[in-house]
Amino acid sequence: MDSEEEELVRKVVSGELPVHSLEKSLGDCERAVRVRRSWLQQETQKDLTALPYEGFDYASVLGACAEMVVGYVPLPVGVAGPLLLNGKLLQVPMATVEGTLIASTRRGCKAITESGGAQAVVTQHVMSRAPVLLFPSAVRAAAFKSWAEDPLNRDALCEHFNGTSRFARLKSLRVIVAGKYAYARFCCETGDAMGMNMISKAVNAVLDFVREAHFQDMHILGLSGNVCCDKKPAAINWIEGRGCSVIVEAIIKADIVEQVLKTSVDAVVQLNTAKNLVGSAMAGMSSGGYNAHAANIVAAIFIATGQDPAQVVESASCITLLSHADNGKDLHISCTMPSLEVGTVGGGTHLSPQKACLDLLGVAGASPGKPGEHARQLAMVVASAVMAAELSLLSALVQGHLMRAHMQYNRKDAHANPPPEPSPFRDVVN
């Protein structure tokens, strides 16, 4: 830090120079960060040395991803794979600080791939936004619902909605009324973007039209009324879907269950019912917590690929089902995830490191073909990796207790009969 910067810091501390707009006033992002760090250290009397800041492309962040920047946290990225998905081999990037998570997912990928691979399908792909509207009476709110859901008004709504963007295409509109409030849940296509900004703009346009032309007594309380429902565990997302609705499945051969996963088909099927169905039922889930640790994998891939980690809340909704395959001896596994909110453009996806991770999966940027193909492929990758991780953790849980039982049984002559080698996945218990 040169004396010029020291003078800048002094000015920030004294308030002459606003700390939030240093990038703009200094015209040099990294210098701005450096000055802000110094200010922060003075303010808080803390040492920020260990927080790295050099060599980061701050320009890509400015006005787009973060403010008041003082550095960055690096999260290690590992890969789980090879994962054979819909006939294609993949290495899946995961950013995490939870030990054994990547290794465990990788073991699941191995079991799936060696058994012939996973099949995934996207059954729906829409973003939703539901403003909250207030009417003078419940009767008027009901009248609005009736009008908005009438097929006769569909074209007018689409015209105003679709006109706001090249990609936004209104697919459905349903209004939920509660007394004088109406929550108008718009669902639309958004191409390869996760789409929250796109749909917000389109909804605003429709609301302006509706208020001007049809319901002057409609009062728009807020663009989001929590029926959307973003970043909250809502049953409506679980039931009706949001983002990509994905189902993935695989048949794992009995001998691979034994050799790779060190357990038996019977044992994992039993545990899945006891834990992911009955256990979750007893814990009071209403929005998709019928899985072992889907959130771990969703979070790790989301962070690696520039998605919004706060959307893990509903994107991790998943029901994991295990059963004997039709031949009675192999294992059928599936993961159903109705609200995976992903995009390959927008958000953090344009940052180079995150883009490299998307590129590793072949889905960086907008799809050259049908809009949304990249986003849907990313969603299928996430769901498949979730399935791999579910398989591995369930096996480790079974194995863990078999091992403990064995150790306990043989305690007295432990030297004569050495216990089985500890699982490398002992720590991942969710």
| Tokens describing residue 161 | 């909605």
271 binds a second copy (CB under 8 A): yes
Among 7, 212, 255, 258, binds a second copy (CB under 8 A): 212
401 as an active site residue: the answer is: no
Identity of the residue, 185 or 254, whose beta carbon is nearer to a second copy in the bound complex: 185
Contact 335, 324 (CB under 8 A): no
- Given the complex with a second copy, which of 4 and 146 has the nearer CB atom? 146
Q: Is 180 a catalytic residue?
A: no
Q: Count Cβ neighbours within 10 Å for each residue of 175-189 and write b for 16 or more, e otherwise.
A: bebeebbbbbbbbbb
**CA distance linking residue 303 with residue 298, whole number of Å:** 9
Per annotation, catalytic residue among 192, 230, 308, 373? 308
Strand partners, 252: 331
Residue 186 makes contact with a second copy by CB under 8 A: no
Binding-residue pattern over the window 17 to 56 for a second copy, x denoting contact by CB under 8 A: ---x-------------------x--xx-xxxxxxx--xx
Active-site option among 88, 232, 329, 406: 406
Site string for a second copy, 359-398 (x = CB under 8 A): xx-x-------------------------------x--xx
Can you tell me whether residue 175 is helix, strand or coil? strand
Find all residues with CB under 8 Å of 373, minimum gap 6, and list them: 192, 367
Is the separation of the CB atoms in 224 and 130 below 8 Å?
Answer: yes
422 binding a second copy? (CB under 8 A)? no
Cβ neighbors of 325 (< 8 A, separation 6 or more) are 251, 331, 332
Q: Does 77 bind a second copy (CB under 8 A)?
A: yes
The closest alpha carbon to 425, from 384, 390, 386, 397, belongs to 397
How many chain residues bind a second copy (CB under 8 A)?
172
Task: Give yes or no for residue 243 binding a second copy (CB under 8 A).
Answer: no
Stretch that binds a second copy, among 153-161, 255-263, 290-298, 370-378 (CB under 8 A): 290-298
The residue among 6 and 74 lying less far from a second copy, judged by its C-beta, is 74
Rg (CA), the chain: 26
Is 406 known to be catalytic?
yes
Element (H, E) at 188: strand 181-189
Q: Report the residue from 1, 59, 405, 414 that binds a second copy according to the rule CB under 8 A.
A: 405
